[in-house]
Amino acid sequence: MESFFNTIKTVPLNHYIMLCSIIFSIGVIGVLIRRNAIVIFMSIELMLNSVNLLLTAFSVYKGDASGQVFVFFVMALAAAEVAVGLAIIVMIYRNTNSIDTNVLNRLKW
């Protein structure tokens, strides 16, 4: 078990920041290029998760548990956000029979 955790000891903090930047950018691209509201939501989850991983990496790097507690709060917030957001998407689907975000550009119908 000890040797398993020792593999991480050769990874500099920069590579964690690099990985999380790439995942975050993929999430941004997903929000920009997709029109399906659910896929846009999933891209937002991707961004939230990349930030979670970076917070954890910094928390381990500094030896401070506050970062991991923050990740816990971010997860609680993401759960609340997903519940409300998916309810809104279901309601939009009932009204317009589509989850294309382009249908909503007039904000009323």
Say whether residue 11 binds other proteins (CB under 8 A): yes
CB of residue 74 to other proteins, shortest distance in Å:
10
- Residue 105 contacts other proteins per CB under 8 A: no
Decide if 36 contacts 98 (C-beta within 8 A): no
Q: Considering only residues 41 through 70, tell me which ones interact with other proteins, judged by CB under 8 A.
A: 41-43, 45-46, 49, 52-53, 56-57, 59-61, 63, 65-66, 68-69
Number of chain positions touching other proteins (CB under 8 A): 75
> What dihedral angle (degrees, nearest 10) is formed by the CA atoms of 44, 46, 49, 50?
-110
Going by C-alpha positions, the residue among 73, 77, 78, 45 that lies closest to residue 59 is 73
